[in-house]
């Protein structure tokens, strides 16, 4: 047993070491990719659950790595947050998404765009001016832009966040809470934050068509949103039964692979013209 233990140590130590080096390498490469503007923005449709109409899109960053293929955001967003790279990265995504959305809004008036805002960006005092200037440069009407924030910002002690979200809200944009109900937040303080939209997370959507118990959490968010006068978007819809059941429960808008995966801008443009309402 002892020898086995030693072998295990000998086996794991080098791999942990190379894991760390790989992470440092990746952070370095990410810096280069941000500087060279190699990152892409993909768009995933928001759909009206009553009739399937395209009503908007969420901008999702993509990193086409020269040898590794597309690196998933779940791997490099945390690295970007640790290193501070999330600021230039996030602003590049915002800029691209707003210019793109302004073009699409000309084809389809009222089409909305959602952009993810990392907690680090909300802490950055420059974020307000940046969003304002990006909107002005792009010509996108502010009410068509939604900023998706994480639930952890809605904490009891989050005075900076509360102040900043108020400033952003004053620009005329909408604020959505991503993955609502999966993190720590203070429900009693939901009133104190200028939130417009709650996003029902995929894990709550997964069981929505499988009976009262498995749909309880999605229903709780829909009830809460109705009571507070908030809009709702359900994400991670993969099956038609889920879309149907969410609509039946009163959820107006959905997003998920059932409707479309995130796609490159030209492909989203094609969806938009193909599905143009009469
Ligand atoms: P998120 O904001 O919750 O975005 C939704 C994620 O769920 C996306 O993953 C999307 O591709 C995926 N998704 C959508 N529909 C379905 C579905 O039906 N089934 C399944 N299995 N997945 C679905 P993605 O693009 O890999 O992004 C992962 C996370 O990375 C995002 O989660 C977000 O937290 C972060 N992220 C992505 N782009 C940005 C960005 O520009 N800025 C920041 N700060 N974070 C970003
Ligand atoms: Ca999001
Ligand atoms: Ca989400």
Tens of pLDDT, residue by residue over 229-248, are 999 999 999 999 999 999 99
- Per-residue buried b or exposed e for 168-203, using 16+ beta carbons within 10 Å of the residue's own CB: bbeeebbbbbbbbbeeebeeeebeebebbbbbbbbe
In short, whether 52's Cβ falls inside 6 Å of ligand 1 is no
The share of the chain scoring above pLDDT 70, in percent, equals 92
Q: Tell which atom from ligand 1 comes closest to the C-alpha of 258.
A: 18
Tell me what the mean pLDDT of segment 170-198 comes to. 90
Tell me what the mean pLDDT of segment 185-189 comes to. 77
How far, in Å, from the CA of 62 to the mean position of ligand 1? 10
Instruction: Name the residue of 89, 93, 116, 258 whose CB sits within 8 Å of the most ligand 1 atoms, as the mutation to test its pocket.
Output: 116
pLDDT at 276: 62
pLDDT at 25: 86
In short, whether 230's Cβ falls inside 6 Å of ligand 1 is no
In short, whether 93's Cβ falls inside 6 Å of ligand 1 is yes
Tell me what the mean pLDDT of segment 206-211 comes to. 95
Residue 198 confidence (pLDDT) above 60? yes
How far, in Å, from the CA of 212 to the mean position of ligand 2? 27
pLDDT at 2: 44
Tell me what the mean pLDDT of segment 76-95 comes to. 96
Instruction: Name the residue of 40, 64, 77 whose CB sits within 8 Å of the most ligand 1 atoms, as the mutation to test its pocket.
Output: 77
How far, in Å, from the CA of 66 to the mean position of ligand 3? 27
How far, in Å, from the CA of 14 to the mean position of ligand 3? 35
Residue 202 confidence (pLDDT) above 90? yes
Tell me what the mean pLDDT of segment 63-81 comes to. 95
Mean pLDDT of the chain, nearest integer: 91
Higher-scoring residue by pLDDT: 5, 175:
175
Complete DSSP assignment for the chain: -HHHHHHHHHHHHHHHHHHHHHHHHHHHHHHHHHHTT--EEEEEEEEETTT--EEEEEEEEEEEETTTEEEPHHHHHHHHHHHSTHHHHHHHHHHHHHHHHHHHHHHSTT-EEEEE--HHHHH-TTHHHHHHHHHHHHT--GGGEEEEEEGGGS-TT-HHHHHHHHHHHTTT-EEEEETTTSS---GGGGGGS---EEEEPHHHHHTTTS-TTTTHHHHHHHHHHHHHT-EEEE----SHHHHHHHHHTT--EE-STTT---EEHHHHHHHHHHT---
pLDDT at 10: 47
Handedness of CA 112, 115, 119, 125 (dihedral sign): negative
Ligand minimally distant from the alpha carbon of residue 201 = 3
In short, whether 178's Cβ falls inside 6 Å of ligand 1 is yes
Cβ–Cβ < 8 Å for 242, 204: no
- Span 50-62, pLDDT tens digits: 999 999 999 999 9
Residue 9 confidence (pLDDT) above 70? no
- The rounded distance, in Å, linking the Cα atoms of 130 and 140 is 14
Whether ipTM > 0.90 holds is yes
Tell me what the mean pLDDT of segment 161-188 comes to. 91
In short, whether 213's Cβ falls inside 6 Å of ligand 1 is no
């Amino acid at each position: 047993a002892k020898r086995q233990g030693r072998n295990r140590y000998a086996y794991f130590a080098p791999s942990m070491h190379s894991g760390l080096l790989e992470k440092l390498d990746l952070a370095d490469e990410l810096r280069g990719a941000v500087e060279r503007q190699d990152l892409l923005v993909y768009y995933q449709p928001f759909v009206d659950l009553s009739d399937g109409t395209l009503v908007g899109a969420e901008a999702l960053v993509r990193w086409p790595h020269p040898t590794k293929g597309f690196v998933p955001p779940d791997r490099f967003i945390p690295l970007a947050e640790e290193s501070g790279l999330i600021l230039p990265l996030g602003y590049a995504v915002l800029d691209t998404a707003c210019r793109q959305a302004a073009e699409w809004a000309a084809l389809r008036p009222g089409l909305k765009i959602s952009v993810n805002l990392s907690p680090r960006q909300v802490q950055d005092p420059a974020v307000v001016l940046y969003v304002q200037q990006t909107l002005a440069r792009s010509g996108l009407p502010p009410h068509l832009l939604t900023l998706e924030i994480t639930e952890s910002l809605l904490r009891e002690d989050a005075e900076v966040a509360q102040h900043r979200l108020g400033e952003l809200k004053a620009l005329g944009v909408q604020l959505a809470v991503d993955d609502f109900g999966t993190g720590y937040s203070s429900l009693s303080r939901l009133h104190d934050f200028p939130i417009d939209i709650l996003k029902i997370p995929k894990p709550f959507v997964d069981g929505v068509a499988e009976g009262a118990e498995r749909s309880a959490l999605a229903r709780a968010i829909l009830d809460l949103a109705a009571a507070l006068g908030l809009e709702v978007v359900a994400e991670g819809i993969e099956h038609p039964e889920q879309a149907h059941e969410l609509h039946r429960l009163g959820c107006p808008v959905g997003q998920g692979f059932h409707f479309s995966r995130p796609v490159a801008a030209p492909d989203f443009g094609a969806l938009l013209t193909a599905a143009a309402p009469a």
